[in-house]
Amino acid sequence: MVHWTPEEKQMITSLWAKVNVAECGGEALARMMIVYPWTQRFFSTFGNLSNPQAIQHNPKVLEHGKKVLTSFGNAVKDLDHIKETFAHLSELHCEKLHVDPENFKLLGNVLVIVLAAHIRKDFPPACQAAWHKLVAAVAHALALRYH
Which part of the chain contacts other proteins (CB under 8 A), choosing from 32-40, 52-60, 112-120, 131-139? Answer: 32-40
- Whether residue 94 contacts residue 146, with contact meaning beta carbons closer than 8 Å, is answered with yes
Burial 77-106 (b: 16+ CB within 10 A, else e): eebeebbebbeebbbebbeeeebbeebbbb
* 94 HSE (CA, 13 A, CB side): 15
Tell me how far, at minimum, the Cβ of 25 lies from other proteins, in Å: 22
Verify binding: residue 146, other proteins, rule CB under 8 A. yes
Tell me how far, at minimum, the Cβ of 49 lies from other proteins, in Å: 12
Nearer to other proteins, 44 or 121 (CB): 44
Question: In the set 36, 52, 87, 119, which binds other proteins (CB under 8 A)?
Answer: 36
Which part of the chain contacts other proteins (CB under 8 A), choosing from 12-20, 92-100, 110-118, 130-138? Answer: 92-100
Verify binding: residue 28, other proteins, rule CB under 8 A. no
- Whether residue 73 contacts residue 129, with contact meaning beta carbons closer than 8 Å, is answered with no
Question: Among positive and negative, which fits the CA dihedral 84, 89, 93, 99?
Answer: negative
Q: Which stretches of the chain bind other proteins, using CB under 8 A?
A: 35-41, 94, 98-103, 106, 143, 146-147
